Structure formats: structure tokens, C-alpha cells
Amino acid sequence: MKKMRRLWMGMALLAVLSGCVPVPIPTETPAPDPYSNEYAQVDVSRLEDGVVSVRYTGGADVRIKAQITREEGEKYNYNLLNDGSWESFTLTEGNGEYTLRVLENVTESKYKPVFECPLTLELEDPATPFRQACQQVPFTENTAAVLLAHQLIGGLETEEEKVRAVLEYVTEQVAYDKEKAGAVEAGTLTENRIDVDAILSRGKGICGDYAAVVAVMLRSQGVACKVVHGKVEQTPGEWVTHAWVEVPGKDGDWERMDPTFLANASDKEQIEGFIGNEENYQAKYYY
């Protein structure tokens, strides 16, 4: 019996010395993927450019929204397709911590969050997001407006020359669409996706259309351009929803350009003075 006990103890000691000891089985489950769940997937491969892509995978035939918020910043709400298509959005409120949410419509105007993830933006150049394609400034290399921009300003040297050429072209070729503006005011507009090629083909649009076309043509040629949504004091004391663009100025600041007003003003000098007056504009969202 003593011999058997010594033999067993010797085998146990040999097992310890040789490393052949039982390995505990982990009881914790792997950490969940912070960029996906059953309702949504997020692609952060272009986060260094200030761009994040999202798609809804929940399968519900309801209205879906993507919401992007920076700490102590504005809430940016976007309509998101519910068919699983990827859509891209820019983070435009500077470096810091953001939260991205995907929301499902529950009732007429109420939404519930079905996905949430944190995002950290660390840009070397704060203008980088304003050179990218996104839902509000949509384009690819095959977009007709991009090919047109290459022909129009591809050979110009300075950003100032490129901005001037694009503004002149758009303000000459696009007229104000009063019918569409009326539909927006009445809340009956069904078209909520920007198609810059369709705008140029029709030769008319409203303020958001003017801004998007200018931004697509400039961004696609490497010129940073902000699309800005906010309000303008159209007449004294009357503030109305409006959209315009901002481009790099000579002194390193951003300079406001308003293609809608430039295209439809009878007195160019007067309207340029109006556009240059900061008190006439209230910016809220940057795309």
C-alpha cells in the first residue's frame, strides 16, 4: 500500500514538473463585437478620414434612423435604408467621443434604439471629413457631376480658382425649383435622397440641392467643402430654414458661399454683401 501511494505521488510530481497539469476551462464568453448586433453593422475602416458606414440588418419593414452625437454637441439624425444597404456619414464636430445609434420606428413619431456604439475621432486635419463622400454629399468616381468637375476644374491650379469656376457653373446652370420648395413647405415632398446628377439634368433645385452639387464637384477634386444647414434672416425678423456651403478662405478660415442666393439675385454686389454678413446666418449642422 505504501509503495502504491509513493508511486502515485511520484507520478503526480512528474506531471507537475513536466507541465502536464489540467488546464481550467474558461467560463466567460467572448466580448461582444462593439460594431454589430442583430439589428445593425458598423464599418469603421475609414474612421481616420472622419467617415463611418452603417447598415440596418434587423429586417423590419419600418422607418429606420441613424443618430450620431458628439459629447455636448448636436444630434445628427439621418434616414437609414431598411434593406441592408450600407450608407456613409461624416463626423463633423471635431475630434472627441461620439455615439452612434440605430433607431427603429415604433409609432408615428417615436423611435426606439436597437443598437449603440462609441466612436473616437482623432483627425490630423480637421478638414478631412469635408473632402469625403457621404449621404448628404453622395458621389462615386462614375457620378456624372464628378466627371464634369474634372473637365471643368481639373486643370486649374489654386483652390480659389476651382471654387470660383464651380460656383459660376452651378449658379448659371441650376434654377430655383419653386414647385419643390412649395412641397417642402407643405410637408408633401416624398423625394428625400440627394441625386446630384438628377439635379443637374433637370437644371433646377432648392437650397440643399445647390449646396450638394457644389460640394460634390469640389470634394471630388480634392477641395474641402462644408454643406451647412441652418437658418437665414430672409427679411428683417423672419428666419427661414436654409442651406449653403463653406470653403477654405485665404486666411485659413472658412468662407461662406451661398449658391442659391447667387443664382437668383438680380443685384450681385448687394447679395454678396448679404452673404458676407455673419449676422444674417445661423449655422446648426455641418455635413
Q: What is the mean pLDDT of each run of 10 residues along the chain (287 residues)?
A: 40 37 40 84 97 97 97 94 97 97 95 97 97 97 97 94 97 96 87 91 97 98 98 94 95 94 94 96 98
pLDDT of residue 193: 86
pLDDT at 223: 97
Packing angle, helices 144-153 and 159-173, rounded to 10: 130
Q: How many residues does the chain have?
A: 287
- The pTM (predicted TM-score) of the whole model is 0.87
DSSP H or E stretch at residue 271? helix 268-275
Query: What would the grid cell of residue 262 be?
Result: 447667387
Question: Which residues have CB under 8 Å from 49's CB, separation 6+?
Answer: 128, 129, 131, 132
Instruction: List CB contacts of 65: < 8 A, sequence separation 6 or more.
Output: 77, 78, 79, 80, 102, 103, 105, 111
CA gap 200, 209 in Å, rounded: 9
Beta-carbon contacts of 172 under 8 Å, excluding residues fewer than 6 positions away, are 263
Q: How far apart are CA 177 and CA 184, in angstroms?
A: 11
Q: How many CA atoms lie within 13 A of 168 on its CB side?
A: 8
Residue-level pLDDT at 188: 86
